[in-house]
Amino acid sequence: MTFTQMLAAASQARQSLLCVGLDPDPARFPAGMTPAAESFFDFCAAIVDATADVAAAFKPQIAYFAAHGAERQLQRLIAHVRQAAPGVPVILDAKRGDIGATARQYAREAFERYGADAVTLSPFMGFDSIEPYLDYADKGLFLLCRTSNPGGDDLQALPLALPGQPRLFEHLAQLAQGPWNVNGQLGLVVGATRAHEVARVREMAPALPLLIPGVGAQGGDAAATVRAGWRPGGPVVINSSRAILYASSDANFADAARAAALATRAQLQAALPAGAVL
């Protein structure tokens, strides 16, 4: 099963467009949980267990683990997802971007060391910066395309000296939909805080999976995001991290996370067109 097939199957089985982001910040762990490395697994595993039947994907952010020496806990967590939520893909949010032998090592890190099903990549060094990842034919690659941070305008929105003067992010979407997508493994990352640009990326890349962060604590409009990005044959998975992870700072944090995830899933589902089939 390819990553795209895996994502589609998980989304259909759970009737969900929701990706639960796993960004463990020890400063926000619930009362009584220590900031020790072992707590990174305990906290995130409890979130996974609470949302295993709600999430269509999980997205651990590698920096939150590596900064605290918790890489082994990340490995354990991904293995735990396999048991607690079989069939639900894990997207490793790493935003790697390099070439040659270094890119091959990053690919090995994501897919062999951690066992992720997909990884986020920065494609701004060109096709050869993603090429080594394509050797893992059943894995998914989400390329940063139109991000929601204010600095995204510095480069992504610049027009190019090409026919029609597409903006950089539009040209990247065309490349990912077309000549770069040699094995059908590519998807795009588009921020939810710019729904009109989500729609533009979908226009340029009608069939690619879109990973859309920014719903929840970052203020993205869930309904507008679904309307802009979802199309039959053009899957979306919409990430919420902090609004779910830190729904409560008390011992009931996992129950509160589940309630937040259920509410977000319902919001996303309600925005689908009448009769839409996941």
Burial (CB < 10 A; 0-12, 13-18, 19+), residue 71, is middle
Six-digit token string for 97: 């971007």
**Rounded Cα distance, 111 and 134, in Å:** 11
Number of Cβ within 10 Å of residue 72's Cβ equals 13
Tokens 């396999």 -> residue: 82
**Rounded Cα distance, 182 and 232, in Å:** 22
Tokens 């902090």 -> residue: 242
Say whether 95 is catalytic.
yes
Q: Which of 28, 95, 113, 242 is catalytic?
A: 95
Number of Cβ within 10 Å of residue 26's Cβ equals 17
One-letter identity of residue 107? A
Q: Give the catalytic positions in this structure.
A: 95
